[in-house]
Structure 1
Amino acid sequence: MSPRILVVCTANVCRSPVIEAMLGQRLGPGFEVTSAGVRAPVGRPIDPDSADQLRRRGLDVPQHAARQLTRELVAESDLVLTATRAHRAEVLDLDPRALRRTFTALELAGLVEDAESGSVAELVADAAARRSQGPVDVDLVDPIGRSEQVHAEVATRIEAAVASIASALQRVRS
C-alpha cells in the first residue's frame, strides 16, 4: 500500500493545496498525498493567487475542492504535515495518537535533510525522536487575501521544504 500523506492548513485553499500539489507531483505514483482544512469552506477551489504560484513554477494546478479535516483522515494517514504549529495542535486535538507522525512541513523538512532510514515509517519515527533538534521557524504565513509578494514568499518556502521532504521520502522508498 502507498504511504498516505495528509497536508493541513486553515481553509484548505492556499497552503495545504500548494503543498499537496508540489509534493504529489514531485513524489509521483507510489505515494498518496491529500489535504484538508481545520475550518474549510467545503467545496471551494484553490485560491487563484496560490494556483498562480503553482503555474509560475511549471506545475499543474489540481482540480481542488476544499474539505474539512476529520479524525478519520488523520487516523488513516501515515504522515500529517501542517502549515503551522497551531494546525498541528488542532490535528492532535482530533487524534492525540497522531503525535509521532504529525509535523509542520517546515519542521519535517529540517529534520529529514540528512536522514537515511529504511522505510517511511522509520523516517517518520526518527524525525519524531529528534523533534527537539529541529528548526525553530516552522510556521507558514497565511497568504489568503494578501499581496502577490506574500503568496510568492510562502510558495518559495513551501517549495524548499517539499524538496527536502520529497528527497528523503524517495530515498527510503527506492
Structure 2
Amino acid sequence: MKKILFVCTGNTCRSSMAEGLFKDMLKKAKKENNIEVLSAGIFALPNQPASEQAIIVMRDENIDISKHRSKQLTSEMINDVDYIFAMTRGHKQAILQVDPSSDKKIFTLKEYIGESGDIADPYGQSVNVYKESLNEIKNALQKVLEKLDI
C-alpha cells in the first residue's frame, strides 16, 4: 500500500482539505484500499480542528472534515511515506532541510503535475477565498490521481 502525505503550515486548511478531497476521490474511484492518505503541518499546533471555513467549503463538497485534528510533521512521517505533496515551495524546502534524503519523493502539489506556483494560504480569510483554494487543490488532485496510475 502506498502512503501519501499532504503538508502545509498548520494542517488546518490546505493539507486537511487535500487529505479529505483525495480520500473522497480514491473512494469514488474504488481505489481507497490502494493508498493511505495523511496530512501534517510544518508548524502545526497538535490536535487543532480544521478551520471553520475549511469545514464549510468541504461540507459543500459532501466531505466531512469536522473530526480532523492537526498533526505536527515529524521525520518519522517523512520516512514512512512514498509521496509528499507540499502546498508551497517554502514547505518543500523546509522538509528538505529536515531530511535531504526525501528529495526523490517530495514535490509541491503543482510541481508534480507540471505546473508552477504555490497553493496560497486561505487562513483567516473569507469562505470565498477558501472555495478558491479548494478548487485549486481539487483540480491539482484530479491530475495527481491520473498521474499516480494506481
Q: Structure 1: 5+ residue runs without aligned partners? A: 111-134
User: Within 5 Å, which residues of 2 pair with 1:86-165?
Assistant: 86-110=90-114, 135-137=115-117, 139-165=118-144
User: Aligned equivalents of 2:107 and 2:147: distance in 1?
Assistant: 15
1 or 2 for the larger relative contact order (CA 8 Å, sep ≥6)?
2
* Cross-structure match for 1:26: 25
The percentage of aligned residue pairs carrying the same residue is 32
Structure 1 residue 62 displacement after superposition = 5.4
8 Å Cα contact 2:16/2:65 also seen in 1:
no
- Residue matched to 2:4: 5
Letter in 2 for 1:26: M
Larger radius of gyration: 1
Amino acid in the other structure paired with 2:24: Q
Partner of residue 67, structure 1: 71
Number of aligned pairs? 145
- Preserved contact between residue 49 and residue 66 of structure 2 (Cα < 8 Å): no
User: Over the residues paired in the alignment, what is the CA RMSD in angstroms?
Assistant: 1.2
User: Retained in 2: the 8 A contact 1:8–1:37?
Assistant: yes
**For residues 48-85 of structure 1, what are the alpha-carbon distances to aligned partners after superposition, in whole Å with 9 as ceiling and x for unaligned?**
10111111112232521111111111011100001100
Q: Secondary structure at the match of 1:164?
A: helix
TM-score (norm 2): 0.92
Q: Structure 2 regions of 5+ residues with no counterpart?
A: 27-31
SS at match of 2:113: helix
Relative to the length of structure 1, the TM-score reads 0.79
> Which residue identity does 1:76 align to in structure 2?
D
